[in-house]
Structure 1
Amino acid sequence: MRIKTTPFYPRLVELNHTGLWSHWAGHLSATRYDFSAKYEYFGVRNAAAYFDASPLFKFWIRGRDAEHFLARAMARDVRSLKPGRAQYTVWCDDEGFVMEDGVLFRHAADEFMLTAAEPNLSHLRTLARGKQVEIVEVSEDYAVLALQGPRSRAILEPLAPEIADLSYFSFTPAKVAGHPVTISRTGFTGDLGYELMIPSDDALDVLDALIEAGEPHQLRPFGEEALNMARIEAGLPLIGAEFTSARYAYNDAERFTPTELGLGWLLRGIDDDSRPFVGRTAIRRELADKTSRWATVGIAVDQAAYFELFDSHGVIPVMDEIPVPWETMLYDDSGERAGYATSLMYSPMVQRYIGIARVRPELAAPGGTVHVEETVNHEYLTVPAEITSLPFFNPERKLA
């Protein structure tokens, strides 16, 4: 298969000073545009920056039974979702393990758009058999641009006045540069931000208008490394990092329930027998029998202890903002395995190492201590870290 490019690529390739690209859903996706991802990260946190999320898979779900179908396919109840609103959700297999997550947008009583990081058309159509519902993949028909950061509203509102009163996880039709777009107040950075869904043929015109409007606000592009930094601070799970799709997992050690992923809040109303969603029976059994193997928490490394660990071995401590691309082992006070960090990084905002971690449920209470494995002079050592709640970064402007 030949690698594809997104509708924004002709402009973004001119702005990518590193030439670094990764692959996402068969498309080129910028790893970073600048020689330090930290520059892009601070663009998100201090001004505004935009991310090309076009490789997301997109599915129209329409028809008389659309709500009925989604209420049984998704773990989160869609029935109270009003038109013009979106919700984060997950879907599970029959054993209650998460297959994937995504965002569901309700356009009308019988019309929804689902976005997700992985292909799901066959799975959704299989679940929809016998129902009056049409599921169409339109991934190539739309480009998606995430505009994130404290100045994002100031940049976007003059172009699309419709967003002035747009609340968190709401969306509205609008026009930018004369082209129809759908703008949602969503994002993957934990900050004030918006996402624009744009017909692919109009993508470059809309991007150019945003770039021009953003020039006084120091608007810049950001890539996957900076996005990963921001979403860890926001405590947001990423498929391929916090969890593996149950569809592709080799064994149960690689499968996780919503509760184990810290997503138990999505299960509100699980005892309502009018909505027997896929995996419900297994999840109710897990909750009743208290058989969750893990709890998802935040960890914040003791900075003084971290410095002492390296200083005492004649090594300069490293504060690396690029997330560790592997799991980091955690131990309890007796040296037994406590769990592992799925994402670990030095946070520029928190000014210490932080992580999203999976620990034994009895260790999950905030304020507890685990010990993070570090390699110093080719030796496995540990440094203490405090168990915290998530997120680490949650500014008022995100909801204001």
Structure 2
Amino acid sequence: MIRTTPFHPRLSELNKTGLYTHWSGHLSALRYSHAPKHEYFAVRNSVGVFDSSPLFKYWIRGRDAERLLAGVFVRDVRTCRPGRAQYTIWCDDRGFVMEDGVVFRHSENEFFLTSARPQMGYLSDLRGRLEVEITDVSDDYGVLAVQGPRSRAVLAALSDDVAGLRYFEHAETKIAKAPVTVSRTGYTGDLGYEVTVPSAHALDVLDALLEAGAGHGLRPFGEEALMMLRIEAGLPLVDVDFHNSRLVFTDHDRVTPQELGLGWMLRGLDGDRAFVGRDAIRRELAEGTSRWATVGIVVDWEEWDRLYRDAGLLPEKNETPLGWESMLYDAEGEQVGYATAFMYSPVLQRHIGMARVPTELAAPGSEVHLELTINHHTTKVLARTARMPLFNPERKTATP
């Protein structure tokens, strides 16, 4: 049975296309208008709202809650104080990434976890005899991502507790008399917030948000715009840029945190905290056995244009991310890696991507050659590696 989110009755009225995909058994809008680029620019220039309700959500409570999560997550949740959140990942015993998510700490013994895939069974298996209660509340809450440079102004008009939030802080407050949690988080790489609201109050909160955003150009955006935004931000997506290590057949589809470009999470491995996969990750770092580096790539625009014009065509500038991997080659024509995501960035006005290359090509500015098809023939275009995120506005993390 296809399900709908708590916000669907109102958002469906705004969807002029009627185009949806499935996300964890729920209808999720692909786009609301004929051009997802318009929704994309709403986020980059003003403010957009995205329905993230299909995320799985869990309360993790009890005297040993911190102990359990510190033994699961790669990032040390013990350093996350109440009122803060962490983006984190968890791994298998061999140090390969399984899933990612965001954990919100509400008190010493109370955490709220969101993830794209179900985690109830996995966390319950690891709980053992620890004094921890794990509750699946996925249906009990809706989540709205309010993203873009005007997102703070919109939410500040609805609550006095929003304007002062720092990056990855959260606060419990009220919007339209409903209890909500507002966090300065998101998946767009821009200034943004996420509002978690009990499902029974979802439409009241959404109506208040739409009214407050009317003078700021607020508009809903769907998954097609979100995919454009997240590539510019260098944010990995499960089943695209990485796969759950337990659900694939070979190591070709497995990556470690270091290989996924999340090595910054590995600080403090010399301490005494044991977590699943720690020993394997420490060996990888000590022995330098990483097979890949995940980097951004930026195509040489002059060569791109020349290839198309020489073929009698106008240079293609398509912002729709490709739905398949694109191979990368060195100057001698040997395959050296692949792009997991590729698109034309409207803001950067360059063809960009997220790619996996050998560690020796990880340095920014390293040259690779991206395979593409023109007039039904394959050819290659020059590209260079770059640090991610490729789009990184100061407003995203700036102190209010």
- Report the TM-score range of the alignment, normalised by the length of the smaller protein: over 0.9
Q: Which residue of 1 aligns with 2:214?
A: 215
Within-5 A mapping of 1:138-177: 138-177=137-176
- The amino acid that maps onto 2:376 is H
Is 1:78 aligned with 2:77? yes
Alpha-carbon displacement from aligned partner over 1:298-345 (angstroms, at most 9, x marks no partner): 000000100101111122221110100110000011111110000100
In the other structure, the counterpart of 1:292 is 290
Equivalence map 1:21-100=2 (5 Å)? 21-100=20-99
Give the TM-score of the pair, scaled to structure 2. Answer: 0.99
| Equivalent residue in structure 2 for 1:301, among 299, 318, 321 | 299
2:274 to 276, 284, 298: 276
Deviation by residue 1:335-371 (Cα, 9 ceiling, x = unmatched): 1111000010000011010001000111111011000
Which secondary structure state, in structure 2, belongs to the residue aligned with residue 162 of structure 1? Answer: coil
Cα RMSD over matched residues? Answer: 0.7
Give the secondary-structure state (helix, strand or coil) at the position aligned to 1:14. Answer: helix
Aligned match of 2:126: 127
1:379 and 1:283 mapped to 2: Cα distance?
42
The residue that corresponds to 2:315 in the other structure is 317
1:212-361 equivalences in 2 (<5 Å): 212-272=211-271, 274-361=272-359
Q: Note the residue ranges of structure 2 that are not aligned, 5 or more in a row.
A: none
SS at match of 1:51: strand
Q: Secondary structure at the match of 1:139?
A: coil
Question: 1:370: which partner in 2?
Answer: 368
- Quote the Cα distance in structure 2 between the aligned partners of 1:58 and 1:388: 34
**Displacement, 1:276?**
1.0
Deviation for aligned residue 1:294: 0.5
Q: Counterpart amino acid of 2:101?
A: G
Q: Which stretch shifts more, 312-321 or 213-222?
A: 312-321
Distance 1:271 1:399 in 2: 28
Question: Could you tell me how far apart the structure 1 residues matched to 2:367 and 2:85 are?
Answer: 37
Deviation above 3 Å: which 4+ runs of structure 1?
A: none
Provide the C-alpha distance between the structure 2 equivalents of 1:120 and 1:249, rounded to a whole number of angstroms. Answer: 17
SS in 1 for 2:78: coil
Give the secondary structure class of the aligned counterpart of 2:322.
coil
> What is the CA–CA distance in structure 2 between the aligned matches of 1:399 and 1:367, rounded to whole Å?
26
Distance between the aligned counterparts of 2:79 and 2:49, measured in 1? 31
Shift of 1:399: 1.6
Cα deviations across residues 33-57 of structure 1 (Å, max 9, x unaligned)?
Answer: 0101100000000010100000000
**Distance across 2 between alignment mates of 1:170 and 1:96:** 29
1:386 is paired with a residue whose SS is strand
Instruction: Tell me what 2:200 maps to.
Output: 201
Which SS does the other structure have where 1:357 is aligned? strand
Q: Secondary structure at the match of 2:12?
A: helix
Deviations 1:203-224 (A, max 9, x none): 0000000000111111100000
Cα distance in 1 for residues equivalent to 2:166 and 2:332: 47
1: distance between equivalents of 2:97 and 2:375?
A: 39
Corresponding pairs, count: 398
Q: 1:377 Cα deviation (Å)?
A: 1.6
Q: Distance in 1 between matches of 2:95 and 2:25?
A: 29
Question: What is the alpha-carbon distance in structure 2 between the residues aligned to residue 83 and residue 251 of structure 1?
Answer: 40
Aligned to 2:189: 190
TM-score scaled by structure 1? 0.99
Deviations 1:77-96 (A, max 9, x none): 11111000000000000010
Cα shift readout 1:92-137 (whole Å, capped 9, x = no counterpart):
0001010000000000001100100000100000011111111111
User: 1:397: Cα distance to partner?
Assistant: 1.0
2:246 aligned counterpart, secondary structure: coil
- 1:125 counterpart SS class: helix
Counterpart CA distance in 1 for 2:136 and 2:267 is: 29
Summarize deviations over 1:267-296 as a string: whole Å, max 9, x none: 111121x21100011111111111111000
